[in-house]
Structure 1
C-alpha cells in the first residue's frame, strides 16, 4: 500500500480511487468549539479529572441550534512553550477522535484540558483510557 500523500502516477495509479487517510470519526459527527462563550458554558458544567487530562462537559439546551457533538481543546502556558502546548493539543484531538466520536453523547459539548508534562508524555492508550474514565464520570457513572 502506498502512503496517502503519494501521487497517483505510474505503478500506483490504480489506487487513485482510494481516498487519503482521514479522521476515524464520521463526517459531521464532531465539530470544534471556537467561541469563548461555549468554553465558559462548559466550564460551569460537570468536570472530571484524570491522570493526563481534565474534561468539562455539558448537555446543551434544547433551544440551542448546534447538533451533534462539539469538542474544544485547551492547554494553558503551564503546559509549556508553544511547541509543548501544540503537541499536547494534537494528542488530545486524536484521543477525542477515537473516544468521544464513539462514546460521546449527541447534544453535548466537551472541553479537554491538557496537563503539564503528562499529556504530551503519557502513552497514547493510557491517554485514551483516561479520557474514557473522565467521560463516564462527566455522564454521571462512577468508576
Structure 2
C-alpha cells in the first residue's frame, strides 16, 4: 500500500468517484499506471475540530484503512478518506462496516 503525499495526488482523487458515509467520505480514482498497489490518503479539515480531535480522527481512519484495504481495496486505485464532523462519536465497528460498504459500492461502480 502506498501513501499519497502530494497535493496533485489528492486533487486527482477528488476527480474520481465519491462515496459519502456518516463518519467520512471515500474518494476512489483508478490510476491507470499499471501498478496494482492501492494508494491511500487521509484528510481531516479544521471544520472537524481542534488538533486533538483531528488527530484522533486521522488515527481512526488509518486503522480502518489498515484493516480493510488489503482485502477490499481496489487494486491500482487511489483511495482518500476525508473525515467528517462527528466521525469520532461513531463506534469503530460501525465505521468499519461503513468503509466495507463504500468499498463494495466503489468496486461495483468501477466494474461497470
Question: Could you tell me whether the CA contact under 8 Å between 2:24 and 2:81 is conserved in 1?
Answer: yes
2:75 to 106, 128, 135: 106
- Partner Cα separation in structure 1 for residue 52 and residue 7 of structure 2: 23
Question: Could you tell me whether the CA contact under 8 Å between 1:54 and 1:115 is conserved in 2?
Answer: yes
Structure showing greater radius of gyration is: 1
Higher relative contact order (CA 8 A, sep 6+): 2
Q: How many residues align?
A: 109
Question: Could you tell me whether the CA contact under 8 Å between 2:16 and 2:29 is conserved in 1?
Answer: yes
- The structure with more helix, counted as a fraction of residues: 2
1:137 aligns with 2:105: yes
1:75 to 23, 36, 44: 44
In the TM superposition, 1:1-143 aligns within 5 A as 30-62=1-33, 66-117=35-86, 119-140=87-108
The secondary structure found in structure 2 opposite 1:92 is helix
**TM-score, L = length of structure 1:** 0.72
Deviant stretches of 4+, over 6 Å: none
